[in-house]
C-alpha cells in the first residue's frame, strides 16, 4: 500500500512536470525561447503553479523522509497545501534545518524524493552548496532532472541574448557547482559552441580568448575582472577582444553598479547575470533580460515563475511581505523529480515588481537585482551591512585595484572595529584616498571604518569565488 502510494504520487508528479513543459528543444521566436510561457498572463502562471503544487505536496509526503517528518511534526497533510494561497501555512525551510538533516543522515540528508533503487535506474550527478556557511548540502540530480534544468537555463540564457553563433568560454573549475555545469548543459541543448575552460590558469585563459575568439565569457564577476587585468598585463586589450558578453554568476554583480560598470569598461562588453542557489536548483534563478541594465532605470533580474514560486518574507518573522516591499527571497522549486523544495529560504534581500517588463516577459522581477544574502550580513556595533555595500563604494574609487578585503577585529578596549584594505598604485595620494573612502563609508553605511591603502598585488587574487570578509573578532572565535 505504502509502495503503491509512493509510485502513484511519483507518476502524477512526473506527468505534471511533462504537461507544463513546452518548447523543450528550440526557441520559438527571436525574442523568447518559449513565448507561451515567458509571456503568459499572470493568472495562467499562477494556475500552473497551483497545478504543480497540488501534485507536489503528496509526492513529497510519500517520497521524501525529510518532508514527511516535517508534515507530521507540524500536524499538516499534503491536502493543506493545494495552492499558492496555502503556502504561508508552511513555515519556511532554512539552511540550518537542511544542515541538521545532513548531519543526522550523512552524506546526502533525506530531502530527496528518490531512493537508492530508483537512483540506480535514473543515473545521477552530484552537486554541492559552496559550503561557505557550515556543512555543505549535497544534492544528486538525475538525468530526468537534467532535461528540465537544461530547458529552464536555455530559456534564461536566450533572454540574455546568448544565441546560436555565439562561442562561449566558461572560465572556472568544473567542481560540483551548479553554475558552470548548468550553463554547459543548456548550451548543448541550445546548440551553442563551447570552449571548455576548466583546468588552466588566467594566463592560459587569456591565450584561448586571443587565439580562438569566443564571444562570451562566463565566470564569477571577481574572476572576470582578474582575467581582464591579466590580459592587460600580457599586453592585450580586453576591450578590443572578441568578447561581446560577460556572463557572471556565483556572486552578486549587476546590482552593484560600480562592479558592473568596471566589468563593462574593462571588457568593452555588456554584462548579464545568472543568479541562483544550489538548494533550489536545478533551475535558473535570477536572469538578465534586454531591459535589465538600461541607463537611468533600476537594475532588474527576472525569475521564472512557471518552474518556481517566489515570495519575499520579512527578515524578522519570516511572514510574507506585500509586493513592492523589501524582504528575503523564498523559493518553492517545481522543476525536478529528485529535488523539489517547499518554501526554501534562499535569503537574498530584494524588492519584487510583478508588472510586465519592457521586454514583454510577465514573470516577476527583482528590482535592484541581488546584492547579498541574510547570511552575509555583518553586524558591527549594532550597524548591519552587506559586504556588497562596501564593495559598491570601494569600486567607485578611481584607479583602485579589483581586490579588497573587509577585516573585523576587536581592539584592546574590547570594541569591534572594521578596517577596509584596498590597493592603489598612487602611493603619494594614499592618505587622501583613505580618508575620502572612510568618509564615504561613514556617510553611506553609518559606520566608522579604517581604510588601509596597499600597493597593487598585495592582496591574494580571486581564483573562483571572492572572499571579501575576514572576521577576527573575539566574539567570533
Backbone angles phi, psi at 451, to 5 degrees: -120, 125
Q: Name the residue nearer to Zn ion (CB basis): 183 or 299.
A: 299
457 vs 390: CA distance, rounded Å: 20
Find out whether 172 and 251 touch, Cβ atoms under 8 Å.
no
Residue 300 C-beta: closest distance to Zn ion, Å: 7
Does residue 248 bind Zn ion (CB under 5 A)?
no
415 vs 409: CA distance, rounded Å: 8
Which of the ranges 147-155, 196-204, 350-358, 394-402 carries the binding residues for Zn ion, by CB under 5 A? Answer: 350-358
Single out the residue of 81, 152, 231, 289 in contact with Zn ion (rule: CB under 5 A): 289
Q: Name the residue nearer to Zn ion (CB basis): 39 or 57.
A: 39
Alpha carbon 395 to its chain centroid, in Å, reads: 21
Q: Name the residue nearer to Zn ion (CB basis): 101 or 306.
A: 306
Which of the ranges 119-127, 248-256, 354-362, 428-436 carries the binding residues for Zn ion, by CB under 5 A? Answer: 354-362
Residue 29 C-beta: closest distance to Zn ion, Å: 15
Does residue 361 bind Zn ion (CB under 5 A)?
yes
Does residue 353 bind Zn ion (CB under 5 A)?
no
Q: What nine digits make up the cell of 430?
A: 594614499
What's the burial of 321, exposed, middle or buried (CB within 10 Å: 0-12/13-18/19+)? middle
417 vs 299: CA distance, rounded Å: 32
Residue 365 C-beta: closest distance to Zn ion, Å: 7
Which of the ranges 108-116, 136-144, 359-367, 466-474 carries the binding residues for Zn ion, by CB under 5 A? Answer: 359-367
Window 384-423: contact mask with Zn ion (x via CB under 5 A): ----------------------------------------
Backbone angle region of 51, left / alpha / beta, with phi > 0 → left and psi within -120 to 50 → alpha: alpha
Neighbours of 266 (CB within 10 A): 21
Residue 274 C-beta: closest distance to Zn ion, Å: 14
Adjacent-strand bridge partners of 192: none
Does residue 291 bind Zn ion (CB under 5 A)?
yes
Residue 361 C-beta: closest distance to Zn ion, Å: 5
User: Binding-site residue total for Zn ion (CB under 5 A)?
Assistant: 5
Q: Name the residue nearer to Zn ion (CB basis): 27 or 320.
A: 27
Does residue 357 bind Zn ion (CB under 5 A)?
yes
Does residue 155 bind Zn ion (CB under 5 A)?
no
CB within 8 A of 133, min separation 6: which ones? Answer: 95, 375
Single out the residue of 359, 364, 434, 441 in contact with Zn ion (rule: CB under 5 A): 359
Residue 280 C-beta: closest distance to Zn ion, Å: 21
Residue where the block lists cell 575620502:
436
Quick one: which H or E segment has residue 69? helix 65-73
Does residue 299 bind Zn ion (CB under 5 A)?
no
Residue 358 C-beta: closest distance to Zn ion, Å: 6
- DSSP of 226-281: HHHHHHHHTT--GGGSS--EEEEESS--TTSHHHHHHHHHHHTSEEEEEE--GGG-
Does residue 210 bind Zn ion (CB under 5 A)?
no
Residue 39 C-beta: closest distance to Zn ion, Å: 10
Q: Name the residue nearer to Zn ion (CB basis): 65 or 291.
A: 291
CB within 8 A of 394, min separation 6: which ones? Answer: 258, 400, 404, 420, 422, 437
Residue 302 C-beta: closest distance to Zn ion, Å: 5
Does residue 438 bind Zn ion (CB under 5 A)?
no
Question: Helix (H, G, I), strand (E, B), or coil: what is residue 377?
Answer: coil
Does residue 10 bind Zn ion (CB under 5 A)?
no
383 vs 404: CA distance, rounded Å: 21
**Contact residues for Zn ion (CB under 5 A)?**
289, 291, 357, 359, 361
Amino acid at each position: 500500500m505504502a509502495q503503491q502510494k509512493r509510485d502513484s504520487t511519483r507518476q502524477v508528479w512526473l506527468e505534471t512536470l511533462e504537461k507544463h513543459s513546452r518548447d523543450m528543444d528550440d526557441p520559438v521566436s527571436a525574442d523568447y525561447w518559449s513565448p507561451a510561457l515567458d509571456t503568459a498572463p499572470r493568472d495562467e502562471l499562477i494556475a500552473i503553479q497551483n497545478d504543480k503544487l497540488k501534485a507536489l505536496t503528496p509526492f513529497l509526503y510519500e517520497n521524501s523522509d525529510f518532508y514527511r517528518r516535517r508534515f507530521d511534526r507540524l500536524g499538516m497533510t499534503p491536502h493543506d497545501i493545494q495552492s499558492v494561497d496555502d503556502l504561508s501555512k508552511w513555515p519556511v525551510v532554512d539552511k540550518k534545518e537542511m544542515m541538521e538533516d545532513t548531519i543526522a543522515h550523512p552524506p546526502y540528508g533525506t530531502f530527496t524524493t528518490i531512493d537508492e533503487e530508483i537512483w540506480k535506474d535514473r543515473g545521477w550527478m552530484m552537486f554541492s552548496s559552496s559550503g561557505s556557511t557550515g556543512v555543505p548540502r549535497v544534492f544528486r540530480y538525475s538525468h530526468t532532472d537534467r532535461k528540465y534544468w537544461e530547458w529552464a537555463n536555455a530559456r534564461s540564457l536566450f533572454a540574455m541574448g546568448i544565441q546560436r553563433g555565439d562561442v562561449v568560454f566558461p572560465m572556472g573549475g568544473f567542481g560540483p557547482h551548479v553554475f558552470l555545469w548548468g550553463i554547459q548543459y543548456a548550451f548543448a541543448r541550445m546548440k551553442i559552441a563551447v570552449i571548455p575552460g576548466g583546468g588552466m590558469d588566467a594566463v592560459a585563459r587569456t591565450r584561448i580568448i586571443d587565439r580562438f575568439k569566443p564571444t562570451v565569457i562566463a565566470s564569477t564577476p571577481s574572476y572576470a575582472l582578474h582575467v581582464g587585468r591579466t590580459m592587460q598585463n600580457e599586453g592585450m586589450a580586453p576591450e578590443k577582444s572578441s568578447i561581446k558578453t560577460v556572463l557572471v554568476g556565483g556572486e552578486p554583480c549587476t546590482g552593484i553598479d560600480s562592479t558592473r560598470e568596471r566589468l563593462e569598461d574593462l571588457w568593452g562588453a555588456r554584462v548579464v547575470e545568472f543568479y541562483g542557489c544550489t538548494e533550489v536548483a536545478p533551475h535558473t534563478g535570477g536572469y538578465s533580460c534586454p531591459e535589465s541594465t538600461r541607463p537611468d532605470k533600476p537594475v532588474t533580474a527576472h525569475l521564472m515563475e512557471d518552474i518556481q514560486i517566489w515570495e519575499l518574507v520579512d527578515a524578522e518573522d519570516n511572514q510574507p511581505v506585500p509586493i513592492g516591499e523589501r524582504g528575503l527571497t523564498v523559493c518553492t522549486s517545481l522543476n525536478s523529480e529528485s529535488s523539489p523544495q517547499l518554501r526554501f529560504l534562499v535569503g537574498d534581500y530584494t524588492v519584487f515588481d510583478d508588472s510586465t517588463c519592457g521586454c514583454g516577459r510577465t514573470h516577476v522581477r527583482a528590482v535592484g537585482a541581488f546584492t547579498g544574502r541574510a547570511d552575509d550580513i555583518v553586524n558591527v556595533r549594532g550597524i548591519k551591512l552587506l559586504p556588497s555595500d562596501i564593495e559598491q563604494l570601494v569600486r567607485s574609487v578611481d584607479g583602485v585595484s579589483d581586490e579588497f578585503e573587509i577585516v573585523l577585529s576587536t581592539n584592546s578596549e574590547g570594541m569591534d572595529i572594521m578596517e577596509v584594505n584596498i590597493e592603489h598604485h598612487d602611493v603619494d595620494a594614499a592618505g587622501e584616498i583613505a580618508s575620502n573612502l572612510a568618509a564615504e563609508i561613514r556617510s553611506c553605511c553609518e559606520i566608522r571604518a579604517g581604510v588601509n591603502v596597499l600597493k597593487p598585488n598585495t592582496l591574494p587574487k580571486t581564483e573562483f569565488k571572492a572572499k571579501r570578509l575576514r572576521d577576527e573578532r573575539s566574539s567570533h572565535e
